Amino acid sequence: MISTNRIDGVFRDKKKNILSVYFTAGFPSLNDTADILLYLQDAGADMIEIGIPFSDPMADGPTIQESNHTALQNGMSLKILFQQLEEVREKINIPLILMGYLNPAMQYGIEAFCESCARTGIDGLIIPDLPMQEYLDYYRQLFDRFGIYNIFLISPQTSESRVRQIDENSKGFIYMVSSASVTGAREGISPEQIDYFNRIKNMNLKNPLMIGFGISNNQTFKTACAYASGAIIGSAFIRALKESGDLKTGIFNFIQSVKGL
C-alpha cells in the first residue's frame, strides 16, 4: 500500500495543463489494456482513466457506448481487467483511475473490488451513479482503508451548496462535467460553459478541478486548462484508437496533437 496517493503527486508537481485520458478496457481488443497504458504514459499523459465496460452506460454518448459494447463482446470483465492490471505497476508510475458504474463493482463484491484496486495499484474511482450519502454511509471507510480516492462529478446544474459538499468530501480532484449532456467530442466551448467554469473557479474550492466531456483537441484542451488544473479526454481518444492501424503510433500522435506539440 502506498502512503501517498499518486493523484496528489500529479497536482503537487504539475498544477496546470494536466492531461487525463479515458479509454474503455477491452477496446479495441481484449488484451490491449497494458499496452495502451504504457503508450499513453510514454506519450505524455499525466493520468489515465480506465473505463469498466457496462451494458447500460447511461452518462456516455454513442462513441463510448459503442466501445463498451465491443469490449463486452470481446469478453472483458472486472475479473479479467484486474488480471491484466496485476503487473502494470512494474512499468506504469502515473495515477490510474477506474471509471465505471456501481453495478459491476457490487456484483464483484465491494470489499473484494477495493482490495483488487489496492493490489493492482489503482489510485482512484469515478462512479457516476454512486450517491453522495450512500458513499458517506457505506463506502467511505472502506475506500479510505484501501487508500483509494473517490472522485465526484459536478455539472452546470449542480447547486453551490452541493458543490461545496462534494468539495468537502472529495479527495484527489473534482471532475467538472463541462455540459449537461452525455460524453462526446464537440467542436468548441460555448460562452455559457465559460461562465460556468468561471463560477466554479471563483468558489476557491480546496480540491483541484479537471474538466471533462467535450474536450477533443488542442483548442478545447487549452481553453479548459485556463479555468482548471487540466482536462480529461475520452470520446476523441476512443475514436483515435478505433481508427489507428498501429496503437503505439496512433496514441503518440493523438497525445502530441492534444498538447499542441
Mean pLDDT of 106-131: 96
Dmax of the chain from CA atoms?
Answer: 47
Please confirm, yes or no, whether 123 is among the known catalytic residues: no
From the candidates 49, 115, 123, 134, give the one annotated as an active-site residue. 49
Beta-strand ranges (E) seen in 52-113 are 96-99
* Residue where the block lists cell 499542441: 260
Mean pLDDT of 108-129: 96
Residue 126 three-state SS: strand
At the second CATH level, the architecture of 6-255 is Alpha-Beta Barrel (3.20)
This prediction's pTM: 0.93
Q: What is the pLDDT of residues 9-39, one digit of tens each?
A: 999 999 899 999 999 999 999 999 999 999 9
% of the chain surpassing 70 pLDDT: 93
From the candidates 13, 42, 46, 60, give the one annotated as an active-site residue. 60
Please confirm, yes or no, whether 111 is among the known catalytic residues: no
Q: Is the pLDDT of residue 237 over 70?
A: yes
Q: What is the pLDDT of residues 63-107, one digit of tens each?
A: 778 888 888 898 999 999 999 999 999 999 999 999 999 999 999
The sign of the dihedral angle between the CA atoms of 26, 27, 31, 34 is negative
CA 246 to chain CA mean position, Å: 24
Higher pLDDT, 47 or 183: 47
DSSP state of 124: E
* CB distance 93 to 6 below 8 Å: yes
For residue 37, give the nearest of 110, 104, 89, 113 by alpha carbon: 89
CA separation for the pair 175, 192 (Å, rounded):
18
